[in-house]
Amino acid sequence: MTNYLAVLMIDISDESGIICGNIPPPPLVTMLNNNLVTAGIYKIAKFYHLRSTLPPGPHPWPLIGNGLMQFKSGPVWHQVFRGLTAQYGPVFTFWFGGVPRIIIADTEMAREAYRKNDFAGRPWSYLGSQLSNNDFKDVLFTDYGHTWEALRRVAHSAVMLYYNH
């Protein structure tokens, strides 16, 4: 006896090719789940792409980073960083939560990095946005540059004016 696959095709389109019929939209829960899955895949892909562009380092967890390494290596962070320096060399990436930090463990390399303005600056922070004005134009939260230098000069002259009296 032979089994046959029967396929029934019903044409529900009119002559213009537009599908006729009453097809209900997907439920809201399904749409939200699809959006969450898509956003999750995007964040994970972005995370691994960013990780591939940085110096080598231990494999981080996507949301917590490398924070659990402290429990594995000992109670203090310098033991963790010494172990990572021995494994990855003097420059490596360490993730604090979802934020990567480049660690420079060699004294001469760190001095050279601080001589250049490429490494100067401050990252954006929520606390800074609450304590500063909208444009981060104050001496505490402004990124390094001409604006910061001018604000520092004004702040220094004000402190020296009141210090001398």
Whether pLDDT at 38 is above 70: yes
- Tokens 């604090």 map to which residue? 96
Q: What is the pLDDT of residue 8?
A: 44
Whether pLDDT at 1 is above 60: no
Name the residue among 56, 60, 53 with its Cα closest to residue 98.
60
Secondary element (H or E) of residue 147: helix 146-163
Alpha carbon distance 45, 49 (integer Å) = 6
Position with higher pLDDT, 121 vs 101: 101
Section 135-158 average pLDDT? 81
CA dihedral 73, 76, 79, 84 (to 10 degrees): 70
Alpha carbon distance 112, 32 (integer Å) = 49
Alpha carbon distance 32, 27 (integer Å) = 9
User: 58, 72 in Cβ contact below 8 A?
Assistant: no
Q: What is the pLDDT of residues 17-31, one digit of tens each?
A: 555 556 666 677 788
Q: What is the pLDDT of residues 46-64, one digit of tens each?
A: 888 888 899 999 988 877 8
* Least confidently predicted of 43-52, 70-79, 90-99, 109-118: 70-79
User: 80, 69 in Cβ contact below 8 A?
Assistant: yes
Position with higher pLDDT, 14 vs 56: 56
Q: What is the pLDDT of residue 83?
A: 86
Q: What are phi and psi of 112, to 5 degrees?
A: -65, -40
User: How much is the pTM?
Assistant: 0.59
